[in-house]
Amino acid sequence: AQKITQTQPGMFVQEKEAVTLDCTYDTSDPSYGLFWYKQPSSGEMIFLIYQGSYDQQNATEGRYSLNFQKARKSANLVISASQLGDSAMYFCAMTGGNQFYFGTGTSLTVIP
Amino acid sequence: DARVTQTPRDKVTEMGQEVTMRCQPILGHNTVFWYRQTMMQGLELLAYFRNRAPLDDSGMPKDRFSAEMPDATLATLKIQPSEPRDSAVYFCASGETRNEQFFGPGTRLTVL
């Protein structure tokens, strides 16, 4: 069963604009964690942000924020003030038990 | 700046040969993960260690893959015998808890 769903294979955003990357998840565990990673063309995986299922407030890290809507089981990533260096693949991931699930990714292209 | 290191970065081998990939986690991190990334399957968790003990390796083909942590500074992933379908990028990641994962640069394996 698909645990993480990213429905946007590709997204475009104008430089300096904000963009939201969608992620929905499926779990029956009350305790879980949600992550976002960035993978530029160089291939490395860069940790961006983490949200725990019991966290009351949305996680923020610089220009990244995670819009956590527990009832909807969504964990969208918001990137504010997009930069050309933000062009990359973005993966949503979830921990549950001893398993870790990654989505299929969204390719973001920032247009000058 | 502490980083996860992986060797080799690239490996080309022939079908049937043994392949060993090595990972040095960040000092002090007690959780280590092995992932495989392919275009078709995306990112898959292969194995997960905490304090050098394997907690989950259900994602790993048991007949040919093995993962170990001989000590806290070294994790290995071995494939014997290798097959063309094993061609992928293999990532190691480490964290202080399972709620954080810092990835290494990956080993790109090509099995001919």
pLDDT of A112 higher than 60: yes
Which residue from B53, B48, B60, B54 is spatially nearest to B101, judged by alpha carbons? B48
**Residue A1 has what pLDDT?**
57
What tens digit of pLDDT does each residue of A54-95 get?
Answer: 998 999 999 999 999 999 999 999 999 999 999 999 999 998
What tens digit of pLDDT does each residue of B58-78 get?
Answer: 888 889 999 999 999 999 999
**Residue B2 has what pLDDT?**
84
- Rounded to an integer, what distance in angstroms lies between the CA atom of residue A5 and that of residue A7? 6
Contacts of A55 in chain B (CB under 8 A): none
What tens digit of pLDDT does each residue of A10-50 get?
Answer: 999 999 999 999 999 999 888 899 999 999 999 999 999 99
**Residue A2 has what pLDDT?**
59
Contacts of A101 in chain B (CB under 8 A): 45
- Rounded to an integer, what distance in angstroms lies between the CA atom of residue B38 and that of residue B87? 8
> Is the Cβ pair A44, B103 closer than 8 Å?
yes
Helix (H, G, I), strand (E, B) or coil at B84: helix
> Is the Cβ pair B102, A104 closer than 8 Å?
no
Residue of chain A whose alpha carbon sits nearest to that of B93: A45
- Rounded to an integer, what distance in angstroms lies between the CA atom of residue A61 and that of residue A69? 18
pLDDT under 70: residue ranges of chain B? 98
- Rounded to an integer, what distance in angstroms lies between the CA atom of residue A73 and that of residue A70? 5
Q: Which residue type does B55 have?
A: L
Helix (H, G, I), strand (E, B) or coil at A89: strand
Q: What distance, in Å, lies between the first and last C-alpha atoms of chain A?
A: 39
Helix (H, G, I), strand (E, B) or coil at A86: helix
